[in-house]
Structure 1
Amino acid sequence: MFQRALRNDPVDLAIIVLSVTATLLLYSELTTLGIVAWVVAYGALLGVVIARLRPRWQGVLRQSVGGLVILTFAVTPPLTTDEVSSAPIAWLSMGFVLVLLSALPMIEAIAGYVGVRIANVPGLTVIPPVPLLKRLLHVVVLAAPALLFLLSRLHVDGWFWTLVAVPIGLTVLVIYAIAGLRQRTSRRTRAALPGALAALKPDFVVYWDAPANTGFQLAMWLPYLRRLDRPFFIMLRNRRSWNDAVAVAGDVPVVLAPTMRDVDEFTVPSLRAAFYTNNAARNTHFVRFQKLTHIQLLHGESDKAPSYNPVTAMYDRVYVAGRAGQDRYARHGVLIDPRKFVIVGRPQVESILSAPAGARDRPHPVALYAPTWRGVRLDSSYTSLDVAEEIVEDLLARGCAVMFRPHPWSYKDPIHRAINERIQHRLGAHRSQTGVPHVFGDEAERLRSVNDCINDSDLMISDVSSVVGDFLYSLKPLVTTAFGRDLTEFLAEFPLARAGYVITDDRATWTAAFDDALGPDSQRAVRAEMREYYLGSFPPEDYASGFIDAARRDIDGTPPIGHAEAETDGESD
């Protein structure tokens, strides 16, 4: 435990040094200094553990075991004198607590035992994790040194020391009992799971590997996959995404398949197709099943780099919203057999209303401002949040009601989170002062869907993102940001921006774009043409049928493209 502190964090080492100092001072009868050192060390340890608890509850105490043990042992000096009656009982309690504290890494691991994870699989159940147990463990463990220190300073009878030892012991006992029961149940369930999946006779599987907080990738497609009226299940590869998957799955069966053995055994004979919503690296673990038709959906229609990723070539079918989706690959030098592409529209826009020309009769035009996040790589960073406050001020000066809906991941960046919060504060103050009905915060980001926001707005300002393609369906004025980029190069790389107006670092482009978007809207005819190019020409009254019909055809046995060639040419993709 001390090696862990030395290896992981100098803060833990400092706490151990301070704890040892407090112990030596207390045993040297320098009581006042010892008490001060002990309180400082305990406070530091408590602060560090609480900071680690904020993002997660699992595994946060193991780095602090050394400090906890020493601080607990530091309370023993009164037990070496006659000041505490029933001292042997106190020593036994102390020893018991020290043993449990030393075993904390193992106890935490047992408390966090996961086992097989399933949801909505008929005939099978598992005992779910009990997060409260881990929280209780942290509370009693962190409280133990302070309580024992108080008892030692008050020189209370040794039997009172058992009031600290017993709760810790009971907590550990319950953790072991529940973990043992969960493990036995998990083993039985895991053994029966392949058979239970086979009994469902699923026609297809949704194979999903994604980090936490990306449930939107599944959420946007599941309503339409359900409308196929075919049995299916979700195979999840990442434990961290379990809650995301279950939250959006509804009654769809979900199984966690963290290992290759799981993948093999859960791929039941009735499966005929697999759908993917991203190009995760571990998708290669599943495309090797050549009897299946592998269909890439992706999770948005845009000109961003992920929408022409060369990895997409490994799938049998590549569903695109319109011809633009296919041309995008070729334009960037990504050569994919054209027979793999299927134009299916973007069913998610079926609830977006098309606005007739000039339909804007509100005293305060509603401007939807939907900036994207920074992205994980330089080539996918398109955000305008760095100048977002200036954009909002320009819109306010024009009398617009601003609907502010930043990408949820923008809150992960401390700088952009602060910008979001300042804009929300500004809009709130302006709404209070003027009565202009700005929409922001939960009302824009959670209570309303993206499509609700699009339908409730008169124009949109956004960065390069999939929401631009969705907004195009409305035919309303669209302003795209291109900060830090040459306009000619930007339009060549992101031709969807031609459907509206583009603003750059040159403030003159802001004036021209907003004047036209809020006035004559000279780009409407261009948008009408580009809507078909980007989103297909399916009838509005049955728009989602493009996807549903294509998916049914592929599930029902249209021969997969490229399987024969894969044996000889697959390595080159």
Structure 2
Amino acid sequence: MRVADDVRHLLSKSIGVVQHRIDHRTVRARLAARGPLPAPVEAVLYFADLPVNLYQLRQWYEPMRVLGERHPVAVVARSPITAKVLLAECPLPVEYVPSMEALEPWLARQHVGAFFYVNQNAANFSTMRMTEPAHVFVSHGESDKAYMASNQLRAYDCTFVAGPAAVRRIEAAVYDLDPSRLLEIGRPQVDVDWPGPDLPDDGRTTVLYAPTWEGDRPSMSYSSLLTHGEALVTSLTRTGRHRVVYRPHPRTGVQDSRYRAAHRRVVAVLEAANRADAAARHVADTGRDFGWQVRAADVCVCDVSAVAFDWLASGKPIVLARPESPTAVLGSTGLAARAPLLTAADAAGAAELVDHVLATPDPAVAELTRDHFGDTSPGASMERFLRAASQVIEGRHRAQAERHATGAGH
């Protein structure tokens, strides 16, 4: 048995190496056919990850496309399979730069003022040794997860945060971080008109259930899918008055196969409900884009995650699923301390709680929204992002010009 396992492992590895080479050649050919970019790049959206984590990058396509109207932007990918996917779907120019040896000469031909990072991939830090561009962490969503107040933030020239709550969270957790390095931008994604399906306007209450993934360590075990999901969705589909839009995290089940099984059970409940009542139009959404769901739903049930904060910016009612894991960190002053909580024991009564929060709006939601995002009037967050990004890019360009004018070293 051990020999057979070793043979399968070596075969899988060999197939992976061959596919990597094929993807490398394919991407090189596509870029050669495209030719050079029309203008030197001033901002880089850097992504060193594999396609499984592209959900982190996709939410920045549109804000970065708009920024590109002021400062030319390109996405730089390190993986050939990721670059191949990006070339097929990304509205921004894509460059495939597989190594530092390739990045340095490419960068020398550009006029880059800033690198932007959406995650804390370890490969980011080989790029961050370069001192000419500024390095900016934009993350891939606002939340109260411990990840959002990491000591890794000290490595960046600045971090874009949503609002005052994020500043307090970071200052409380990270020692000696200069607050001037935290720039508030709101949530520019709320100003994007995301395309999506048109759900019937039939008087049903549309509920977005968006559990996060299981996490890769005990302190990140926020997912309700295994503990709440099936009972919660069953409660909502039985009433005949609710429509469920189920949006699982793209990484669901990557770490723990029990969550894949829980996902399948939730989908089965929705499919059975649609067979019993075709007008219900419950949705199991595993599509690429997130954003239309916020527009379509009346109330959200989700975990402590970025979805909770994207929803919060809408000003509509929210219910948080309380994590069952005792190791999941819940803040004493954040959203989890203010929003209605649904325990696993009460998940079978989710429909009643949803009806209650809709019937009795909480005035604290508006206060929470201002604290977490600042001004959320239409267009305000996008403009703050564009202003902050331009400030960083143009500031670094001035610093580069001054340094080079004096003949200082790079």
Offset at residue 435 of structure 1 (A):
4.3
Is 1:382 matched up with 2:382? no
Please list the CA deviations of residues 335-377 of structure 1 after superposition, one character each: whole Å capped at 9, or x if unmatched: 4210111111111111479xxxxxxx95431111111111122
In the alignment, structure 1 residue 460 sits paired with structure 2 residue 300: yes
Q: Secondary structure at the match of 1:274?
A: strand
CA contact (8 A) 2:83 2:94 kept: no
Distance in 2 (CA, whole Å) between partners of 1:433 and 1:113 is 45
Correspondences of 1:162-311 after superposition (within 5 Å): 200-228=39-67, 229=69, 230-250=71-91, 252-258=93-99, 260-268=100-108, 270-311=111-152
Q: Secondary structure at the match of 2:385?
A: helix
Give distance in 2, aligned partners of 1:307 and 1:319. Answer: 11
Which of 413, 418, 424 is 2:267 aligned to? Answer: 424
SS in structure 2 of the partner of residue 207 of structure 1: strand
Q: Per-residue displacement from partner, 1:460-480 (whole Å, max 9, x unpaired)? A: 111111111111122111011
Q: Which residue of 2 aligns with 1:11?
A: 4
Aligned to 1:59: 14
- For the residues of structure 2 that align with 1:370 and 1:233, how far apart are their CA atoms? 31
Q: Partner of 2:359: helix, strand, or coil? A: coil
What is the alpha-carbon distance in structure 2 between the residues aligned to residue 427 and residue 445 of structure 1? 13
Q: Aligned partners of 1:298, 1:10: CA distance in 2, in Å?
A: 43
Name the aligned partner's letter for residue 284 of structure 1: F
Q: Any conservation in 2 of the 1:207–1:275 contact (CA below 8 Å)?
A: yes
Deviation at 1:221, TM superposition (A): 1.2
User: Moved runs in structure 1, 4+ residues, more than 6 A?
Assistant: 486-489
Question: Equivalents in 2 of 1:386, 1:484: separation in Å?
Answer: 10
Structure-2 residue corresponding to 1:169: none
**2:77 aligned partner, one-letter code:** L
1:539 to 358, 372, 377: 377
Q: 2:210 — aligned with what?
A: 370
Change (3 A) 1:454 1:52: farther
**Residue equivalent to 1:503:** 342
- Report the equivalent of 1:414: 257
Q: Does 1:114 align with 2:69?
A: no
Q: Does 1:433 align with 2:237?
A: no
How far has the Cα of 1:555 moved from its partner?
1.1
**Pairing 1:332–2:287 present:** no
The unaligned stretches of length 5 or more in structure 1 are 1-7, 14-47, 62-104, 127-192, 354-360, 565-573
Structure-1 residue corresponding to 2:198: none
Q: 1:120 to 1:224 in 2, by over 3 A?
A: farther
Shift of 1:395: 2.1
Equivalent position amino acid for 2:364 in 1? V
Contact 1:302 1:464 in 2 (8 A): yes
Q: Is the Cα–Cα contact under 8 Å of residues 344 and 546 in structure 1 kept in the other structure? A: yes
Distance in 2, Cα, partners of 1:220 & 1:488: 25
The answer (yes or no) to whether the contact 2:187–2:382 under 8 Å persists in 1 is yes
Amino acid at match of 1:543: S
SS in 2 for 1:59: helix
User: Which runs of 5 or more structure 2 residues have no equivalent in the other structure?
Assistant: 195-200, 404-410
Q: Alpha carbons of 1:112 and 1:365: their partners in 2 closer, same or farther (altered >3 Å)? A: closer
**Deviation for aligned residue 1:490:** 2.9
The 1:513/1:323 distance shift into structure 2, 3 A limit, reads same
Aligned pairs for 1:44-83 within 5 A: 59-60=14-15
* C-alpha distance 382-225 of structure 1, shift in aligned 2 (>3 A): same
User: 185, 190, 193: which is aligned to 1:344?
Assistant: 185
Does the C-alpha gap of structure 1 residues 514 and 201 become closer, same or farther in structure 2, counting only changes over 3 Å? closer
Aligned-pair identity (%): 25
1:66 is aligned to none
**Contact kept? 1:538, 1:546, Cα under 8 Å:** no
Q: 1:458 to 1:333 in 2, by over 3 A?
A: same
1:438–1:331 distance in 2 versus 1, CA, 3 Å: farther
Higher relative contact order (CA 8 A, sep 6+): 2
Whose helix proportion is higher, 1 or 2? 1
Q: Partner amino acid for 1:11?
A: A
Residue type of the partner of 2:137? Q
In the alignment, the residues of structure 2 paired with residue 300 and residue 380 of structure 1 have an alpha-carbon distance, to the nearest angstrom, of 15
Aligned to 2:51, the other structure's residue is in SS state coil
TM-score, length-normalised on structure 2? 0.82
TM-score of the aligned structures, taking structure 1 as reference length = 0.60
Please point out which of 404, 418, 435 is paired with 2:246. Answer: 404
Change (3 A) 1:476 1:509: farther
Structure 2 counterpart SS, 1:490: coil
How many pairs were matched up? 386
Q: How far is 1:225 from its partner?
A: 1.6
Note the C-alpha offset of 1:262. Answer: 1.7
Bigger CA radius of gyration = 1
**Whole-angstrom CA distance in 2 between matches of 1:480 and 1:352:** 25
- CA offsets per residue over residues 292-331 of structure 1, 9 Å max, x none? 1211111111111221111111111210111122211122
Counterpart of 2:197 in structure 1 is none
- For residues 427 and 113 of structure 1, what CA distance do their matches in structure 2 show? 37
Q: Which residue of 2 aligns with 1:129?
A: none
